[in-house]
Amino acid sequence: MDPKNPFKWRHFEKEIILLNVRWYLRYALTYRDLEAMMLERGLKVAHSTIYRWVQAYAPEIEKRSRPKLRKTNDSYRVDETYIKVKGKWKYLYRAVDSQGNTIDFLFRAKRNKDAAKLFLKKMLKSGHTTAPRVITVDKNPSYPVAVKELKSERILSKDCEIRQIKYLNNIVEQDHRFIKRRVKPGLGFKSFHTAVRTLKGYEMMNMIRKGQIEGIKKGEIEKQIKFIDNLFALAA
């Protein structure tokens, strides 16, 4: 994708492309739903074309939005949820802070210590995060081992506390619902690569919806739309 002209060679207006991508990532719609909705408005767009738009622009929205995120607090709640790819369950690692703000996410094929450690390292490197004072996890035995290794490697502070208290993780388990509702209409993903690119868009749209962008609060829909347009220089 040309960073200066991200819509080069596209056969539809950039406003139409970004509208379809934004709606797909924000609402529980299928590609065929969007195809029908565009047809009602006099535009004939194949669902496969909308799919290609989402694959191209969902990760781009995530990448361009990250520098604009507000800082999270130092109380991490970490958990993983299941996402189906080609009929098999894969694992989406997710973390929120004590106020429900998304810290980070990572999609992995396996649920083990290496995956947990990789996710924790990714969180700690994120530009919008605060060094954790405490990390709350469930009873997954991978996390204490991963935390211990990160402390020994001086990637994580030795003062950081890890708690295995399931009820304190209700906040992140409830937050999974937004992502699960997006995945459900499509009955899972056909490939791991497709899942990774689409989930980046789902997650960032969830963060925007929750008011995690600097200067934009939860519920300020018009500002959220304008923010996404500005990412691609669409706003007047």
> Which CATH number characterizes residue 155's domain?
3.30.420.10
What is the 8-class DSSP label of residue 143?
Answer: H
Single-letter amino acid, residue 5: N
Q: Are residues 173 and 216 in the same domain?
A: no
Tell me the C-alpha distance between 198 and 230, whole Å: 21
Residue 6 included in any domain? no
Residue 21 included in any domain? yes
Total count of domains within the chain: 2
Residue 3 included in any domain? no
Question: Residue 72 in 3-state DSSP?
Answer: coil
pTM of structure: 0.93
pLDDT tens for each residue of the chain, 236 residues long:
777 788 887 889 999 999 999 999 999 999 999 999 999 999 999 999 999 999 999 999 999 999 999 999 999 999 999 999 999 999 999 999 999 999 999 999 999 999 999 999 999 999 999 999 999 998 899 999 999 999 999 999 999 999 998 788 899 999 999 999 999 887 789 999 999 999 999 999 999 999 999 999 999 999 999 999 999 986 44
Residue 4 included in any domain? no
Residue 30 included in any domain? yes
The b-or-e profile of 109-140 (16+ CB within 10 A means b, else e) is eeeebebbbebbbbbbeeebbeebeebbbbeb
Q: Are residues 59 and 94 in the same domain?
A: no
Q: What is the span of the domain harbouring residue 101?
A: 75-178
Q: Are residues 91 and 63 in the same domain?
A: no
Q: Are residues 62 and 82 in the same domain?
A: no
Q: Are residues 105 and 52 in the same domain?
A: no
